[in-house]
Structure 1
């Protein structure tokens, strides 16, 4: 007779407990959809899965960051589109003002619209914002810069640089000047000319062979500029003027090169000056006061249009790059999600089979335990 121990009942109870625990784990996996719910399920697998999850969430955020970057670019590009329209209108006005059928009063009326347009360029530059950031105003002379985080890890950013687009920035040109003092009354004899040599190119203010003539400063400058503009190598690149009672020769073609200037009165071969200059940035003033000035303004506006076009092209390149970045990041996140799923997610069909097996065994153990408890003591 069995008094203290019912071995059959104990064996049935042990198997029932084991099957109950296994059934519970299967139910947990089936209800959560995860093969790994705690480190005890698969320590190494859990570590790998968590690293993958960090990468996946980082890539998803990087994709959103890139979308924000595109929004910034689109905001900026929209403002520059309007700047382009303004510059085209300014060019149209310059062409109109270049026509000498216009009186001084007519040109004055055109200048009123020009002034408003230049103010609007400055307003667009100073007030165009994205998330309260001035995207077209830069920091001093430095461009606006933004780093777009396009990866899940450090040092995975794309820098966007946007140049300042106010009037001064669009119409600043490299202006190189050489100055020398010249007394009023430049004598031009029948056999004498005044020569100007700029970087090896020589132009002359020629004397009238019929009469001796003494020119005022204004007359001399007028004659000198006519000679400069008649030279195809210097026309539109160099201009002469009097500034603070000094003859000033300016390079206005945007070149950053130094300029060597020599002014000579050929009567006695006397040098009026020999100057080598440094370059400096100066703002160009678009003006309609004369045919010559209005015509020069057309060239400067064309340069400004080219600056805006260059910046818009750069923005387009940034946007196209970010669009490809988004596709790549989304693809990487998708593939990494699939890999993480294989590590952590449960195989529902296989786990359902395991659950059914353990559930049947648990029920069988319960039945056998009941039978064992009915055995004679």
Structure 2
């Protein structure tokens, strides 16, 4: 989960840089040279977003996109967090990532606009709207993942407390 969250953090940084570039591109003060430079960086950042989605792995398992991705799968990732069969935690952020409504679609939409970056104020403004959707999508996915990470941390603390209390009770019984 920390690896996926790290990828989302970098995607957020990239999206904010893309927003800066599109905002600069939405100015009439730009000429073709400025738009070309902004567009080149913007297009490269779009490619990097796609690469992060496809190549973020942990232990050989794709995390965000791909056939083996557990986080993108509808069933999510199931963690055994206790000693009984009922003590599990399922992390499912597939809705935040999928190609119909989530981050993957936001990236695809931006790539669809980026046939050569942007060369006019109107094109740059169109990108701004798509970047806002991307930022919201990544934020939503990070929020869902962060909530699961916090829950897992609390569960670990509770299991540790139970272990310590069980050991203390065992020690008391042995002493008696």
- Distance apart, 1:340 and its partner CA: 3.8
Corresponding residue for residue 285 of structure 1: 113
Corresponding residue for residue 156 of structure 1: 87
Corresponding residue for residue 337 of structure 1: 167
Corresponding residue for residue 183 of structure 1: none
- Distance apart, 1:341 and its partner CA: 4.1
Stretches of structure 1 that go unaligned for 5 or more consecutive residues are 1-72, 174-281, 348-377
Corresponding residue for residue 38 of structure 2: 110
Contact preservation (8 Å) 2:35, 2:119: yes
Corresponding residue for residue 278 of structure 1: none
Corresponding residue for residue 146 of structure 1: 77
Identify the match of residue 328 of structure 1 among 154, 158, 172. 158
Contact preservation (8 Å) 1:97, 1:107: yes
SS of 2:27's partner is coil
Q: Distance between the aligned counterparts of 1:96 and 1:324, measured in 2?
A: 44
Contact preservation (8 Å) 1:136, 1:165: no
Contact preservation (8 Å) 1:94, 1:298: yes
If the length of structure 2 is used for normalisation, what is the TM-score?
Answer: 0.80
**Pairwise mapping of residues 67-146 of structure 1 onto structure 2 (< 5 A)?**
73-139=1-67, 143-144=72-73, 145-146=76-77
Segments of 4+ in structure 1 off by > 4 A?
165-168
Aligned length: 166
Contact preservation (8 Å) 1:126, 1:134: yes
CA shift digits 1:143-179 (9 cap, x unpaired): 1421111110113211112343897432356xxxxxx
1:318 aligns with 2:148: yes
CA shift digits 1:248-292 (9 cap, x unpaired): xxxxxxxxxxxxxxxxxxxxxxxxxxxxxxxxxx97424413211
Stretches of structure 2 that go unaligned for 5 or more consecutive residues are none
SS of 1:136's partner is coil
SS of 2:148's partner is helix
Greater Cα radius of gyration, structure 1 or 2: 1
- Distance apart, 1:297 and its partner CA: 0.9
Q: Distance between the aligned counterparts of 1:85 and 1:341, measured in 2?
A: 52
Distance 1:140 1:75, change over 3 A: closer
Identify the match of residue 105 of structure 2 among 165, 169, 172. 169
Q: Distance between the aligned counterparts of 1:283 and 1:309, measured in 2?
A: 19
- Distance apart, 1:342 and its partner CA: 5.0
1:296 aligns with 2:126: yes
Q: Distance between the aligned counterparts of 2:169 and 2:66, measured in 1?
A: 44
Q: Distance between the aligned counterparts of 1:285 and 1:156, measured in 2?
A: 46
Query: Where is the strand percentage greater, Structure 1 or Structure 2?
Result: 1
Contact preservation (8 Å) 1:125, 1:165: no
SS of 1:171's partner is helix
CA shift digits 1:229-251 (9 cap, x unpaired): xxxxxxxxxxxxxxxxxxxxxxx
- Distance apart, 1:125 and its partner CA: 1.6
